[in-house]
Structure 1
Amino acid sequence: MSEQDISTPIPAVSVSIAKQVIYCGVCSLPPEYCEYGATLNKCKEWLREKHSDLFDNLYSQTNLESDMINLSLEKKPANDAEDKKKAKEAAKIEREMQKKMASKITITRIARNKRKSVTNVCGLQNFDIDLKKAAKSFASKFACGSSVVKNNQGNDEIVIQGDVSDDLYDYILETWPDVPEDNIELVEEKKSKK
């Protein structure tokens, strides 16, 4: 048999044509997005010179008039519900930020015996800090015992063995930069004699 006698079917190949995107020579954005840049007038001039058909499509008077007809001042009901939901979420985030800015971290040094003392840290949980991880971090940083306990009001606080209040102030600012410096208070308590 010769090569001419053998007929093999050619498989169908799907060919996808890639769309060529034009980028502005002034702002390097696609021409549809030039209006969001700072150089709209220069971009229009460049587009008019290089791609007049695209310029006519985007900025011709008839296209602008048809777009103006489709505009409306009335809100659609679906968007109204979405807008209310977004407003509620924004208000919730704002309240959380205000609560966070109003809350304080209190570092208290409490004298136990003549030379023994402990340091209590209250209010870290208000800044979305995991107290167990923070206690472990304090224990490794200051080479001492540190644990999370409940205080008399039922709130969690961290108790660190030893007087590390000054170093702890700086360590909190270094470790968690989103905690404002004004929201950290240093307090010293002395054990009352019986």
Structure 2
Amino acid sequence: MAENSSAETPSTEPQARKVTYCGVCTLPPEYCEFGGTAKKCKEWLENEYPDMHERLYSEVIISHILILHRTAAVAATLSTLSIDAQKRAQKDSAKKEAKAAQQEKRAAEDKAAAKVLIKRVERNKRKYVTAVSGLEAHGLDLKKVAKEWGKKFATGSSVTKTASGSEEVVVQGDNSDEIYDWVADVGNVPEDNIELIEDKKKKGG
């Protein structure tokens, strides 16, 4: 009984499979199209294994045709979408340009109206400081200006906050005339926008 049962049981040993390799690139013909000698591989396969050549390359052609159809359909859809997208983009661009132009106009108007106030302030014992405000409206960096003035006049110069919460550059000493010339020449601020103010210390009664 054991012998009969063994004879009826199918063999589970792996069966040998014959694999064909390309005589040009040595890869299986299914992978020849990914190599650099696809044309020569195709000619070799057609001569050596015409049946395999027909089967493989007919599948490739059908696959390529399907891909082309899908690509054309996607392109048509994208074309329709792109027209709408272009219209939206043009509207958005026009809005942004109009907004930017309006902002530039407002900034130019603010700059034209902005005053740079150079105030000479008298302190105790006829000592003075020069306080300058409004520079930032003309694109000047207050910290850089304070540093440059400190070197130029060889004195203390710093950025401080005013009572209203804005910032000004305060330079030790009476340098109002020199600062006026610097603001006009180096800072490129029109002279019509520069104003000199003298703030004298009030004497006690």
Fold in common (TM above 0.5): yes
Q: Which residue of structure 2 lines up, in the alignment, with residue 168 of structure 1?
A: 179
Shift of 1:80: 2.5
% identical equivalent positions: 50
Shift of 1:76: 4.5
Q: Distance in 2 between matches of 1:81 and 1:164?
A: 51
Match of 1:99 among 93, 96, 110: 110
Q: Which residue of structure 1 lines up, in the alignment, with residue 190 of structure 2?
A: 180
Match of 2:199 among 185, 189, 192: 189
Is structure 2 residue 122 aligned with structure 1 residue 111? yes
Give the secondary-structure state (helix, strand or coil) at the position aligned to 1:114.
Answer: helix
Q: Please show how residues 78-93 of structure 1 align to structure 2 within 5 Å.
A: 78-93=89-104
Q: Distance in 2 between matches of 1:77 and 1:139?
A: 54
Q: Distance in 1 between matches of 2:162 and 2:87?
A: 53
Question: Structure 2 length normalisation: TM-score?
Answer: 0.55
Q: Distance in 2 between matches of 1:78 and 1:145?
A: 54
Amino acid at match of 1:115: R
Q: Which residue of structure 2 lines up, in the alignment, with residue 59 of structure 1?
A: none
Amino acid at match of 2:197: V
Shift of 1:78: 3.4
Q: Distance in 2 between matches of 1:95 and 1:156?
A: 22
Give the secondary-structure state (helix, strand or coil) at the position aligned to 1:159.
Answer: strand
Shift of 1:127: 1.2
Give the secondary-structure state (helix, strand or coil) at the position aligned to 1:92.
Answer: helix
Runs of at least 4 residues of structure 1 off by over 4 A? none
Q: Which residue of structure 2 lines up, in the alignment, with residue 130 of structure 1?
A: 141
Considering fraction of residues, name the structure with more helix.
Answer: 2
Q: Deviations over 1:30-84 (max 9, x none)?
A: xxxxxxxxxxxxxxxxxxxxxxxxxxxxxxxxxxxxxxxxxxxxx9453232112
Q: Please show how residues 133-148 of structure 1 align to structure 2 within 5 Å.
A: 133-148=144-159
Q: Distance in 1 between matches of 2:91 and 2:133?
A: 42
Shift of 1:143: 1.1
Q: Distance in 2 between matches of 1:151 and 1:122?
A: 9
What RMSD over aligned residues (CA atoms) do the two structures have, in Å? Answer: 1.5
Q: Which residue of structure 1 lines up, in the alignment, with residue 3 of structure 2?
A: none
Q: Which residue of structure 1 lines up, in the alignment, with residue 166 of structure 2?
A: 155
Shift of 1:158: 0.7
Give the secondary-structure state (helix, strand or coil) at the position aligned to 2:125.
Answer: coil
Greater C-alpha radius of gyration: 2
Q: Number of residue pairs matched?
A: 119
Structure 2: state its 5+ residue gaps: 1-85
Structure 1: state its 5+ residue gaps: 1-74
